[in-house]
Amino acid sequence: MNKLLATLIATLVTGAAFAQTVTAPAVPATPATPAVTATPAVVKAEAKADKSVAAAVKSEAKVDAKADAKVEKAEAAGAEKKTKALTKSATTKAKAQAKAAKADAEDKTKADAKADTTSAKAEVKADKAVIKADTKINTVRVKAAGDKATAAAETAGVKAEAKADVKAAGSK
C-alpha cells in the first residue's frame, strides 16, 4: 500500500513539474496578412477600413448593451410577477386554512376539503404565473442572443469587406 501511495505521489509531482515547463513555438509567428506597400491608395483604403470597422464595432456594442438591458428588464419584471403570484397563493392558502380552522366540528371535514381544494387551485394558478414569467424571460433571452449574434456577424462581415478593400487597393 505504501509503495502504491508513493508511486501516485511521485506521478503527481512529476506531472505537475511537466505541466509547468514552457515550450517555445517550433515555427516563428508569421503575419496574418501579406505586407502591402503603403501607397496613397492603400493608406486611404486602410483609413476607410478602420473607420468602417470602428463604426461596426460601436454598433455591435450598442446592440449588445440594448439586448442586455432588455434581458435585465425582463428578468426584473418576471421576478416581480413570480413574487406577486406566490404571495397571492400563500395568502389564499392561509385564508382558506384559517376559515377551515374556524369551522364547527361537524363541518370540519367539509371545510378542510374545501380549504385543500382552494389551496390546490391557488398553487396551480401560481405555478402557471411562474411558468408564464419564465417563458417570457427565456423568450427575451433567446431574442437578445439572436440580436447579439446578428450584430457580431455584421461586424465580421464589415471586417472582411474592409480587409478585401485594403487588399484590392494594394493591387492597383
Give the pLDDT of residue 90.
Answer: 95
Residue 145: is its pLDDT beyond 90? yes
User: Residue 74: which of 155, 118, 146, 133 has the closest Cα?
Assistant: 133
Across 11-15, 28-32, 97-101, least confident range? 28-32
Report the share of the chain in percent with pLDDT over 70. Answer: 77
CA distance 56 to 151: 8
Instruction: Outline where 26-107 has alpha helix (H).
Output: 40-102
Tell me if 81 sits within 8 A of 108, measured CB to CB. Answer: no
141 pLDDT tier (thresholds 50, 70, 90): very high
> Which of the pair, 32 or 153, is modelled with greater confidence?
153
Give the pLDDT of residue 81.
Answer: 96
User: Residue 78: which of 153, 30, 135 has the closest Cα?
Assistant: 135
Instruction: Please count the residues of the chain.
Output: 172
Residue 4: is its pLDDT beyond 80? no
42-80 pLDDT, tens digit each? 888 888 889 999 999 999 999 999 999 999 999 999 999
Is the pTM above the cut of 0.85?
no
5 pLDDT tier (thresholds 50, 70, 90): low
